[in-house]
Amino acid sequence: MPELSGVHPAWLPPEAFRAIGSRRTLVLGDDVLADTVRAEVAHACARYGGTLHDDRDGAYDLVLALDSEAGVGPEGFVLSRHDGATTVVAGGPAGLLYGLFEVVRRGETAFGADLPAEAHRPALRRRMLDHWDNIDVHPVMGQVERGYAGGSIFWREGGPRDLTRVRAYGRLLAACGINAVAVNNVNVHATEARLLTDRLGEVAAIADELRPYGIRVHLSVNFASPVALGGLATADPLDDGVRAWWARTTERVYATIPDFGGYVVKADSEGQPGPFAYGRDHADGANMLADALAPFGGVVHWRAFVYDHRQDWRDRSTDRARAAYDHFAPLDGRFRDNAIVQVKNGPIDFQVREPVSPVIAAMPDTRLAVELQVTQEYTGQQKHVCYLAPMWREVLGFRPWGPDGRTVADVATELVAVSNVGDDPYWTGHPLAQANLYAFGRLAWAPGLDPADLLDEWIGLTFPVAGDPGRLRRILHEIMDGSWRTYERYTAPLGVGFMVRPGHHYGPDVDGYEYTPWGTYHFADRDGVGVDRTRATGTGFTGQYPKPWSDVYESPAKCPDELLLFFHHVPYGHVLHDGTTVIQHIYDTHFAGAEQAAAMRDRWEKAAGDVPPELHARVRELLDEQVRSAREWRDQINTYFFRKSGAADAHGRRIY
Ligand code: GCU
């Protein structure tokens, strides 16, 4: 529990441990994680005057003990309180750690009224963050691809960093339930490819820092490594020499890092090498790596983000939304048990609004990880407040087979997200973006949690010494609860997506991608806008969903308004369920969204006395930028559609 100078403690300030630190605590267990729990308690006691014990005989306020028969799995625990003692009975060492952090979250409440036994266990077995970090600093992307919080916490330019901060990072992650981290970018460049071989020591050093917090390390690898690193003539997954190379290389990895998690692979996607070059498919590629990892209990995360990024915009038969399903659904049942197909939550690419990916319902015989994007590539790049938990909650609770069927959270075996963390003093650039990281971990543990409650938890832990906690809580809820929908209002309308500046993806550029090879088009003309993905007249994408959604999405009358332009090309005069026309909806939401951004900034002024002045100033500056950017979006989008359609705003507001 290093307290790092110049680094914000996020949701684990010393005060979060006050309730535990002032009490008598017994910790039983003799594993590295039990040692971590003891160290945490001892540290808190040193500050707040409590005591740590290891002898069963005595009266304690808090007891943390192991019982493999507890019936809650290795990461679960049973929490209860009676006769003045709070007890955590953990199913395994990790459960001890998660139990401790549950007590931290509850603070004094954990030592109040009696509590009948409550069983806690994670809904998803792996709760993982993917870092898109590079060792080298890229001239355009910077060090962290799509990173908005400075450089990497693992590497400084070209070499490893002092990793003290990584230990603190692991602690924050464990406190919200995360248990795996992939340390490097899915686009594996030449330098980073070597993390698998001669630079493996750098990965081992990171693993050493994260291990005490129950976090396993995974590595993104380049599919062509046998050629690039091994000097072989081929990377064909069915070639014996290639298979032997991976087996040997993987054996060395485990000799160095015995609890290594496994590989992450982006193959045949956006220029990354893959099995297609050898006439093989994704199952061949994934299974080869799965076989190399299996003897050591490792897994391969094989990403389903595969599409043609060299599409001709004139070609109306190709639909990027279809690509992942077309590539992967036919392979269902062919992946090994330790090959996990990792699917982005939507069919395109982390837009502010997309339907749930149809791949999730199409591979019943494959282990699936759903991938979310905590880093705000398309949702304001950590300059805008955009609390994403409400979106993730919708995704996880979506029922692909209709109201009586299972949810996405039921179908997925794992939840993965692209991290939003860098070497910034607040970890996430925007201090309020910490809430997204926290909420991701908590939702991966318990997908049914309410986003507003999670925000409340985060506020309570992160801002312990605020002047008037009630007031700050209210202000933060007013700013953050609805911030995802606010962002949606002032950006691309009704699920159509993109309209961002090509390359960096920040700020509006309505036609920026319209005539590019990337497959992200809105097709606006003088009469209407949107992508026809119907079976009747469009790309047929709606047919990738099971019923009822294949029918709901097929029909412009039934399709939810917020996804209308994702599935349909409609006239500007098309009337939405709420009675407004599409064009009037565009005007209304864009005026409203920009106004709401301005209202957020006004609200934040009222929190001036409740948070540290530097934090207040940083958020205020960022809100200035959000207000400016939201106006820019409003004016570009409204003007664009006014010029295309010639339709006047019913309220006569200023459009340029
Ligand atoms: C997006 C993002 C890329 C990233 C890719 C991926 O397209 O812009 O930077 O590499 O997703 O998920 O692989």
pLDDT confidence of residue 3: 73
* 312 is a catalytic site residue: no
Distance CA 320, CA 518 (A): 8
Return the best residue to mutate from 134, 269, 305 for the ligand 1 pocket (most ligand atoms within 8 A of CB): 305
> Which ligand 1 atom lies nearest to the CA of residue 187?
10
pLDDT tens, 583-627? 999 999 999 999 999 999 999 999 998 999 999 999 999 999 999
Q: 457, 16 in Cβ contact below 8 A?
A: no
% of the chain surpassing 70 pLDDT: 99
Q: 92, 122 in Cβ contact below 8 A?
A: no
pLDDT tens, 95-143? 999 999 999 999 999 999 999 999 999 999 999 999 999 999 988 889 9
What count of Cα atoms within 13 Å lies in the side-chain half-sphere of residue 461? 25
* Per-residue buried b or exposed e for 39-73, using 16+ beta carbons within 10 Å of the residue's own CB: ebbbbbbeebebbbbeeeeeebbbbbbbeeebebb
* 605 is a catalytic site residue: no
Question: In which residue are the tokens 């909650």 written?
Answer: 393
Return the best residue to mutate from 349, 350, 418 for the ligand 1 pocket (most ligand atoms within 8 A of CB): 349
**Taking every pair of C-alpha atoms in the chain, what is the biggest distance, in angstroms?**
82
Check 61, 192, 319, 377 and give the catalytic one. 377
Whose Cα sits closest to atom 1 in ligand 1?
Answer: 349
Residues 6+ apart with CB under 8 A from 149: 382, 420, 421, 422, 423, 424, 426, 427, 428, 429, 433
Is any ligand 1 atom within 6 A of the Cβ of residue 192? no
Q: List, by residue range, all CATH 3.30.379.10 domains of the chain.
A: 14-120
Distance CA 462, CA 424 (A): 17
Is any ligand 1 atom within 6 A of the Cβ of residue 266? yes
**Mean pLDDT, residues 363-373 taken together:** 98
Please report which confidence band the pLDDT of residue 464 belongs to, taking 50, 70 and 90 as the band edges: confident
* Per-residue buried b or exposed e for 190-206, using 16+ beta carbons within 10 Å of the residue's own CB: eebbbbbeebbebbebb
Asked whether residue 466 carries a pLDDT value surpassing 60, the answer given is: no
pLDDT tens, 204-224? 999 999 999 999 999 999 999
Residue 406 Cα to ligand 1 midpoint, Å, equals: 29
Residue 268 Cα to ligand 1 midpoint, Å, equals: 13
Q: What are the two backbone dihedrals, phi and then psi, of residue 31, each rounded to the nearest 5 degrees?
A: -125, 170
pLDDT confidence of residue 56: 86
Residues 6+ apart with CB under 8 A from 264: 130, 182, 186, 218, 219, 220, 221, 300, 301, 303, 342
Asked whether residue 55 carries a pLDDT value surpassing 70, the answer given is: yes
Residue 187 Cα to ligand 1 midpoint, Å, equals: 8
**Mean pLDDT, residues 312-317 taken together:** 95
Asked whether residue 536 carries a pLDDT value surpassing 80, the answer given is: yes
| CA angle (289 as vertex; 287, 293 as ends), nearest 5 | 110
Is any ligand 1 atom within 6 A of the Cβ of residue 320? no
Asked whether residue 465 carries a pLDDT value surpassing 70, the answer given is: no
> Which ligand 1 atom lies nearest to the CA of residue 145?
9
pLDDT confidence of residue 42: 98
Q: 61, 55 in Cβ contact below 8 A?
A: no
**Mean pLDDT, residues 390-417 taken together:** 98
% of the chain surpassing 90 pLDDT: 96
ipTM (interface pTM)? 0.97
Is any ligand 1 atom within 6 A of the Cβ of residue 371? no
Please report which confidence band the pLDDT of residue 57 belongs to, taking 50, 70 and 90 as the band edges: confident
pLDDT tens, 616-632? 999 999 999 999 999 99
pLDDT confidence of residue 316: 93
Distance CA 17, CA 28 (A): 19
Q: List, by residue range, all CATH 3.20.20.80 domains of the chain.
A: 126-225+236-462
The residues with which 370 forms a beta bridge, in sequence order, are 343, 415
Whose Cα sits closest to atom 2 in ligand 1?
Answer: 146
Mean pLDDT, rounded, of the chain: 97
Return the best residue to mutate from 270, 377, 501, 506 for the ligand 1 pocket (most ligand atoms within 8 A of CB): 270
Is any ligand 1 atom within 6 A of the Cβ of residue 146? yes
CA 20 to chain centre: 30
Name the CATH topology of 126-225+236-462.
Answer: TIM Barrel (3.20.20)
Determine how many CB atoms are found less than 10 A away from the CB of residue 508.
20
pLDDT confidence of residue 467: 60
* 270 is a catalytic site residue: yes
Whose Cα sits closest to atom 11 in ligand 1?
Answer: 349
Q: List, by residue range, all CATH 3.90.1330.10 domains of the chain.
A: 487-531+569-645
Asked whether residue 26 carries a pLDDT value surpassing 70, the answer given is: yes
Q: 200, 252 in Cβ contact below 8 A?
A: yes
Check 3, 54, 118, 270 and give the catalytic one. 270
Residues 6+ apart with CB under 8 A from 190: 228
Residue 305 Cα to ligand 1 midpoint, Å, equals: 9
Residue 59 Cα to ligand 1 midpoint, Å, equals: 55
Q: How many residues does the chain have?
A: 656
Among the four given CATH numbers 3.30.390.30, 3.30.379.10, 3.40.800.20, 3.30.1360.170, the one describing domain 14-120: 3.30.379.10
pLDDT tens, 505-519? 999 999 999 999 999
* Per-residue buried b or exposed e for 406-431, using 16+ beta carbons within 10 Å of the residue's own CB: ebbbebbebbbbbbbbbbbebbbbbb
Distance CA 263, CA 420 (A): 20
Whose Cα sits closest to atom 12 in ligand 1?
Answer: 305
400-404 contacts at long range (C-beta below 8 A, 24 or more positions apart): 400/356, 400/358, 400/360, 400/361, 400/545, 400/546, 400/549, 401/361, 401/546, 401/547, 402/546, 402/547, 402/548, 402/549
Q: Which has the closest alpha carbon to 492: 590, 609, 620, 622?
A: 590
| Low-confidence winner among 201-210, 456-465, 498-507 (lowest mean pLDDT) | 456-465
Please report which confidence band the pLDDT of residue 335 belongs to, taking 50, 70 and 90 as the band edges: very high
**Under DSSP, is residue 341 helix (H, G, I), strand (E, B) or coil?**
strand
Sign, CA dihedral 566-570-573-575, equals: negative
Write the DSSP symbol of residue 381.
T
Q: 536, 554 in Cβ contact below 8 A?
A: yes
Residue 124 Cα to ligand 1 midpoint, Å, equals: 24
Question: In which residue are the tokens 């109306």 written?
Answer: 316
Assess whether the previous peptide bond of 212 is cis (omega < 30° from 0): no
Q: What are the two backbone dihedrals, phi and then psi, of residue 90, each rounded to the nearest 5 degrees?
A: -100, 145
Name the CATH topology of 487-531+569-645.
Answer: Alpha-d-glucuronidase, C-terminal Domain (3.90.1330)
Asked whether residue 2 carries a pLDDT value surpassing 80, the answer given is: no
pLDDT confidence of residue 519: 97
Check 281, 349, 354, 371 and give the catalytic one. 349
Please report which confidence band the pLDDT of residue 269 belongs to, taking 50, 70 and 90 as the band edges: very high
H helix intervals, 49-163: 93-106
| CA angle (327 as vertex; 244, 537 as ends), nearest 5 | 170
